[in-house]
Structure 1
Amino acid sequence: MADKILMKGNEAIGEAAIKAGCKCFFGYPITPQTEISAYLSRKMPKIGRVFLQAESEIAAVNMVYGAAGTGVRCMTSSSSPGISLKAEGISYIAGAELPCVIINIVRGGPGLGSIQPAQSDYFQATKGGGHGDFNMPVFAPASIQEMVDMVQEAFDVAEMYRTPVMIMGDGMIGQMMEPVQFKEREEKQLPEKTWAANGLHGRKKHNVINSLYLKAEVLEEHNKHLQEKYKTIKENEVKYELFNCDRENDLVLVAYGTTSRICKNVVKMAEKEGIKLGLIRPITLWPFPTEAFDKTVNSTKHGYLSVELSCGQMVEDVRLAVEGKKPVNFFGRSGGMVPTPEEILSKVKELVGGAK
């Protein structure tokens, strides 16, 4: 078994990408994710792989488009405003059905905002990430170890479904240090890349990488095909954690990423005061784990509390999942402010009527 190594989150992402077989990285520096680029700039050339700092985020994502079109594993990373600049390219990549991995280490917004951690890119990530009718799988790690494991999985999912995949963490997970283990993973049986434009011979027709369809009826058929693919992803790739949800609870918290770690402390603190809390932690933000709410809706007395580093974004998906069967409330901090367990517990007591 591999030894554990103490690593900063961003650097662990870079090493995980290398071990996952990433051949090309194209990026542009922006805090709080710049260490990903810095790490890969040192490591990739030494092992015969491509690192390129582009002249802009727009250039970087279009380089990903080109490299992905040849069938090689490629990745880009950025933080909030940088992802906004990449949005057009992400939509092109989705339309052309190309696999790639996109890392977003989220900072406070809107606008330039701050370099502090946030989760305010939830809408951007889960409701498309660019123009047109498309979705992409979005993973939300709660630890550096989980982030490392997800990088390999993200590449596999990208190739399985020919889609961009995003890993969305906040500034804390990029900057903090934790012990990580780079585990040997079982090779997945992935589809052969017969679609790639890589110059290989023996094809009956040329492979053309494109997302332009000038005939409306042709584009509609392409959209129908994409929607069927997204339906399959929803059926196969939903991930979540249920914490203390195998019992009757006064309230169930809903949180993802590092916020969920704070909420686990809240669950333990509440227990000491006679308040029973559960926690739903979405691991995939898209597809959203609706089934987790089906499993808990009848065992929560006061419904759900969505806890976020935003002004209230995931709470909309929570309400859709609950379908009005129980109350859904929200507690959030924004702009880089991180809630304390005491603040969240105070909100919990307000909803359930104080300590039991």
Structure 2
Amino acid sequence: MGKVLMKGNEVIAEAAVQAGCKYFFGYPITPQSELVAYMARRLPEVGGLFLQAESEIAAINMVYGAAGTGVRVMTSSSSPGFSLKQEGISYMVGSELPAVIVNIVRGGPGLGNIQPAQSDYFQVTKGGGHGDYNIPVLAPASLQEIVELTSEAFDIADRYRTPVILMGDGMLGQMMEPVEFGERTQSELPDKKWATTGTRGDGSPKIITSLDLNAEALERRNHTLQKKFARIKENEVRYETYKIDDADYIMVAFGTVARITMNAINKARQEGVKVGLIRPISLWPFPEKPFLETRDRVKGYISVEMSAGQMVEDVRLAVNGHAEVDFYGRTGGVVPTQEEIYAKIMSVTGGITV
């Protein structure tokens, strides 16, 4: 299969199908409605099931039920709808159920608008719902990267028995780019002896729950979860660097903003300003390593976001006071331009040329 021109939301859906997802429960909300529509048409072709739920709350609980049987299942939404899913997501983490949850972020807070934003960063990286937990979060920057990361999201979910979030902005969901799925081989699903598929008279019934009324027992369950989160932090960090080896200043950006930032970096380098980029691909676990390796030799970092300043807090934690950390952001669905980011670079660096 050669390259095909597709919309971002549809790429996510097709990549999920090719990763073995045959069950989708969701509710249409812009700017991700095309994903729901694509699944409604595509899943019956592969013997799967699509169901439009009556609400986002219903959808995430249907995902809970399907995940409990061990199948690969997905849901998707955009910011307000994603907020409604938080209780169900917390239940899934507590019950250790694998699924992929897509959030195509729009402007907020509140109903906001349907323009692209990254202002759900806190929500996806700091738990989002109640209780002590984290969820792996992958943030693609291109439609081709969506193909790879969607497949990886399902693999990570099964590997650790956890929900995984695939997060993009409204621009990523709506843009069209040529993508290639290639001859992808579906990952072999792990043995899911925990799944509630019936005992068939062999063994005791399997029970999936997050409820434990005994405090000490629930604490042991929490300790088990925390050990799993530590394994995820050790093994599932993903990031990309760009021209950081000789950089005096390093930009930090993810998703589509990183692509715009790269153009600004190239323009600044033409003026002799040595600047590079760290692009987190996993928002959680956050990639601390490239900061540890550069923070004692660079003059500063600049976090660029479509938010009022959320990822910048993780950048500051990783830098830990070893260098200055500046921020540039646009909110409400406004996309920062190459010229604006270039101006910020020149302002912070003093526009010094060599």
- Calculate percent identity across the aligned residue pairs: 63
Alpha-carbon distance between aligned partners in 1 of 2:263 and 2:253, rounded to the nearest angstrom: 12
Please state if 1:71 is matched with 2:70. Answer: yes
Aligned to 1:158: 157
Alpha-carbon distance between aligned partners in 2 of 1:339 and 1:83, rounded to the nearest angstrom: 24
**Residues 1:68 and 1:355: Cα distance change in structure 2 (over 3 Å):** same
Deviation for aligned residue 1:275: 0.5
Alpha-carbon distance between aligned partners in 1 of 2:46 and 2:185, rounded to the nearest angstrom: 23
Alpha-carbon distance between aligned partners in 2 of 1:310 and 1:15, rounded to the nearest angstrom: 29
Deviation for aligned residue 1:264: 0.5
Deviation for aligned residue 1:220: 0.2
Residue 299 of structure 1 aligns to a residue in which SS? coil
Matches within 5 A, 1:243-254: 243-247=242-246, 249-254=247-252
User: What amino acid sits opposite 1:108 in the alignment?
Assistant: G
Matches within 5 A, 1:53-132: 53-132=52-131
Deviation for aligned residue 1:188: 4.8
Q: Which among 337, 340, 348 is matched to residue 340 of structure 1?
A: 337
Please state if 1:327 is matched with 2:295. Answer: no
Alpha-carbon distance between aligned partners in 2 of 1:150 and 1:342, rounded to the nearest angstrom: 30
Deviation for aligned residue 1:201: 3.3
Aligned to 2:274: 276
Q: Which among 334, 347, 351 is matched to residue 350 of structure 1?
A: 347
Flag structure 2 segments of 5+ consecutive residues without an equivalent. Answer: none
Aligned to 1:236: 235
Q: TM-score, normalised by structure 2?
A: 0.97
User: What amino acid sits opposite 2:268 in the alignment?
Assistant: A
Aligned to 1:285: 283
Residue 295 of structure 2 aligns to a residue in which SS? helix
Q: Is the 8 A contact 1:160 1:190 kept in 2?
A: no
Aligned to 2:44: 45
Alpha-carbon distance between aligned partners in 2 of 1:190 and 1:16, rounded to the nearest angstrom: 16
Deviation for aligned residue 1:316: 0.3
Q: Is the 8 A contact 2:303 2:325 kept in 1?
A: yes
Deviation for aligned residue 1:200: 4.5
Deviation for aligned residue 1:45: 1.6
Residue 51 of structure 2 aligns to a residue in which SS? strand
Alpha-carbon distance between aligned partners in 2 of 1:312 and 1:203, rounded to the nearest angstrom: 54
Aligned to 1:196: 195
Deviation for aligned residue 1:203: 4.5
Deviation for aligned residue 1:9: 0.3
User: What amino acid sits opposite 1:140 in the alignment?
Assistant: A
Alpha-carbon distance between aligned partners in 1 of 2:184 and 2:10, rounded to the nearest angstrom: 20
Deviation for aligned residue 1:204: 2.6
Aligned to 1:176: 175
Residue 298 of structure 1 aligns to a residue in which SS? coil
Deviation for aligned residue 1:46: 2.6
Aligned to 1:9: 8
Alpha-carbon distance between aligned partners in 1 of 2:100 and 2:310, rounded to the nearest angstrom: 23
Moved more, 204-213 or 102-111: 204-213
User: What amino acid sits opposite 1:73 in the alignment?
Assistant: R
Aligned to 1:138: 137
Render the CA deviation track for 1:224-271: whole Å, top value 9, x for unaligned: 000000000000000000100122x22100000000000100110001
Aligned to 2:308: 311
User: What amino acid sits opposite 2:255 in the alignment?
Assistant: G
Alpha-carbon distance between aligned partners in 1 of 2:285 and 2:188, rounded to the nearest angstrom: 22
User: What amino acid sits opposite 2:115 in the alignment?
Assistant: Q
- Regions of 4+ moved over 6 Å: none
Q: Is the 8 A contact 2:115 2:170 kept in 1?
A: yes
Q: Is the 8 A contact 2:73 2:100 kept in 1?
A: yes
Flag structure 1 segments of 5+ consecutive residues without an equivalent. Answer: none
Q: TM-score, normalised by structure 1?
A: 0.97
Query: Over the residues paired in the alignment, what is the CA RMSD in angstroms?
Result: 1.2
Alpha-carbon distance between aligned partners in 1 of 2:141 and 2:161, rounded to the nearest angstrom: 26
Alpha-carbon distance between aligned partners in 2 of 1:200 and 1:18, rounded to the nearest angstrom: 29
Deviation for aligned residue 1:135: 0.6
Alpha-carbon distance between aligned partners in 2 of 1:242 and 1:10, rounded to the nearest angstrom: 26
Residue 296 of structure 2 aligns to a residue in which SS? helix
Aligned to 2:31: 32
Residue 113 of structure 1 aligns to a residue in which SS? coil
Aligned to 2:258: 260
Q: Is the 8 A contact 2:20 2:186 kept in 1?
A: no
Alpha-carbon distance between aligned partners in 2 of 1:269 and 1:175, rounded to the nearest angstrom: 27
Q: Is the 8 A contact 1:255 1:263 kept in 2?
A: yes
User: What amino acid sits opposite 1:43 in the alignment?
Assistant: R
Render the CA deviation track for 1:94-152: whole Å, top value 9, x for unaligned: 00000000000000000000100000000000000211001110000000111111111
Residue 354 of structure 1 aligns to a residue in which SS? coil
Q: Is the 8 A contact 2:19 2:187 kept in 1?
A: no
